[in-house]
Chains A and B, each alone.
Chain A
């Protein structure tokens, strides 16, 4: 088992390195090698599943990475159900998206670079999934951020794309500072307790012991560490208030949005929550905070998706909202439901993004106001997109229905407010997806010749659509141990289903049959609409913060530099030297007699001094 897991990790790495060094000018080979490497990883993951089944016990393997007297860091892999589930998702969805990319990025000047970065991303993501300690995980976490930056800025000659890459990198960095501090705090505390370690399993045992001992001080420290680590999660998984980068990240190529900014990387935060669930669950406050942030993010991102006009941004806000769902599921104490939703979401959101990619690829626009009636012209894309939409809305028996229902049931049992907000979110999800589908795929068909793209773009859509339908019946939940007993009452299921259906139908009715009503509504609700279009002023707030606080401080530094360092320090020294020189120059008369006089006077004075001294 262990060698297989190592192979899964390193295959994409060798593909990335190989492409960077040898295949930059052979795009065809680069694309196929990257895809094949990913497919191999997927094959190995499947092999792992069939050889070992769903692992009940965690299996570990590691080598010493850093060995100092007080600091030992391993580089290793930790294989349990959670790992295997993520491996299958990342490599499975990844392979399909690699294949799709070959069609989408066809004739792109940066084709090889794209596949190298994508392989690097796959390697880093698998590293996060397989890491057996916090430091290793953090290293891969940053590598994922790097590859995300590279891929968002793939078309770097476009200023928006370059800016979006920087924004994504810097925003997640804010969270990662917290994450790093959290790791160090935890390590420092364990070190003080006599056992400094980063290893997940060891920490898990230690935390469990502390929890049973009921040590108050330890719990408050775990709370602090939990909050700090959650900051990293919020950055990576685009939770409020660090969500601002994800919509902008849509400047990257669409398959990247599908793989990184919908299916896998943004789910890394949720995965980390599940991986460290023992840590978070040691402190009820942290769990409450996580649940609150998750629910709020889910709701407010769903409202934002209502007014967007860019097809990818609608899906991006939907992703934020669904990530909020997952985070809420974990925060409410049910990692199984959260991870289940992560898995199903990976399928249908990747499907939706790839569908959107096909549309963009064909029409060369992302504005939904310029699209309509594409279902007739692009049956494969439209049909699979419809499946993805239904899955996201949560229609029985598609995959989204099962996972969303689990989270709703958990919320119903733990917190009525969370339940209501999540229900409202489910309704809004149905509304904005109905709007998207109605505008883009239904209505009047376009005049110009439009058709489905080639097989390498269609087949991933079909496969993902199949999984979006069937994933609810796969034993995905088995991979994550149960932390939460019992299921919700039947009416919760019915209510969730009803809310989704009503929202979807209502929105289809509004946007297809009665668009006048929509217009009058948006006329009458100008105020709220404006708030939504300004994205709740979060970006404006950050801009103001940067302008007033950071720029003010920068101005102060600039002033200090110009006045104290340059004017006083550098120019001041020069002026002092010049002034002294000016004074001393008066002595250089150039007359021999004067020099002789000075010498004589000097000798006389010295002699007098010597005589007086010796008297």
Chain B
């Protein structure tokens, strides 16, 4: 069974996620992109687990999902707080730390 396509798909997903993270200014979309990044990693883990017959990868994938859930919770909470404060979820409005 060929595993390469899984890895290629994972890489493509990762690239899309990274690009989304860089170019999007909307905090919600950036969170979405991060989800994409995490899930591409999960895909890699599972593929690798199947390829080498090791369960560790699958365990890592579960951890990844859990972390993704937590991350979304915190991230969305931050986004809501931000919206309450500056009436926007656009990152160009949060440049207060500019040196």
A residues with a Cβ closer than 8 A to B are 584-593, 596-597, 600
Contacts and interface: CB of A to CB of B under 8 A. Distances in A.
Contacts, number: 32
A592 B30 contact: yes
B84 to A, nearest CB: 19
Nearest to B92: A591
Given A592-B30, A593-B21, 7 more contacts: A588-B97, A588-B98, A590-B97, A591-B91, A593-B23, A596-B21, A596-B22
B2 to A, nearest CB: 24
B91 A587 contact: no
B7 to A, nearest CB: 15
- A-B pairs, top 4 by smallest CB distance, nearest first, are A588-B99, A590-B98, A590-B95, A585-B99
A261 B60 CA distance: 98
Given A592-B30, A593-B91, A586 B18 contact: no
Contacts of A589: 95, 98-99
A587 B22 contact: no
B86 interface: no
B22 A597 contact: yes
Nearest to B18: A600
A586 B18 CA distance: 24
B59 to A, nearest CB: 22
Nearest to B96: A590
Contacts of A588: 97-99
A600 B18 CA distance: 9
User: Which bracket fits the contact residues of B?
Assistant: 10 to 19
A593 B98 contact: no
B27 to A, nearest CB: 8
In the complex, which of the residues A584, A593, A597, A600 has the most CB atoms of chain B within 10 Å of its own CB atom?
Answer: A593
B30 to A, nearest CB: 7
Interface string B82-96: 000000000110111
Nearest to A597: B22
B57 to A, nearest CB: 18
Contacts of A590: 94-99
B97 A593 contact: no
Contacts of A587: 99
Contacts of A596: 21-22
Nearest to B37: A600
Contacts of A600: 18
A592 B91 contact: yes
Contacts of B94: 590, 592
Nearest to A596: B21
A585 B99 CA distance: 5
29 contacts: A584-B99, A585-B99, A586-B99, A587-B99, A588-B98, A588-B99, A589-B95, A589-B98, A589-B99, A590-B94, A590-B96, A590-B97, A590-B98, A590-B99, A591-B91, A591-B92, A591-B95, A591-B98, A592-B30, A592-B91, A592-B94, A593-B21, A593-B22, A593-B23, A593-B25, A596-B21, A596-B22, A597-B22, A600-B18
Contacts of A585: 99
A285 B13 CA distance: 104
A589 B18 CA distance: 20
Contacts of B97: 588, 590
A97 to B, nearest CB: 79
A282 to B, nearest CB: 80
Interface in B42-99: 91-92, 94-99
Nearest to A604: B18
A171 B92 CA distance: 77
Interface in B14-46: 18, 21-23, 25, 30
A200 to B, nearest CB: 77
A225 B22 CA distance: 87
Contacts of A584: 99
A593 to B, nearest CB: 5
A593 B97 CA distance: 13
Nearest to B23: A593
A600 B91 CA distance: 18
A596 B23 CA distance: 11
A597 B92 CA distance: 16
Nearest to A600: B18
A590 B91 CA distance: 9
Nearest to B25: A593
A600 B37 CA distance: 12
A548 B68 CA distance: 81
Contacts of A597: 22
In the complex, which of the residues B22, B30, B96 has the most CB atoms of chain A within 10 Å of its own CB atom?
Answer: B22
A592 B96 CA distance: 11
A600 B19 CA distance: 11
Contacts of B91: 591-593
Contacts of B25: 593
Contacts of A591: 91-92, 95, 98
A163 B23 CA distance: 81
A591 B96 CA distance: 9
Nearest to B95: A590
A586 B96 CA distance: 14
Contacts of B92: 591
Contacts of B30: 592
A501 B95 CA distance: 105
In the complex, which of the residues B30, B94, B99 has the most CB atoms of chain A within 10 Å of its own CB atom?
Answer: B99
A590 B21 CA distance: 16
A589 B21 CA distance: 17
A599 to B, nearest CB: 10
A592 B34 CA distance: 13
Contacts of B18: 600
Contacts of B99: 584-590
A586 B97 CA distance: 12
Contacts of B98: 588-591
Nearest to A586: B99
A592 B97 CA distance: 10
Contacts of B21: 593, 596
A193 B30 CA distance: 90
A591 B97 CA distance: 8
A600 B92 CA distance: 20
A589 B95 CA distance: 7
A100 to B, nearest CB: 81
Nearest to A593: B22
A425 B11 CA distance: 114
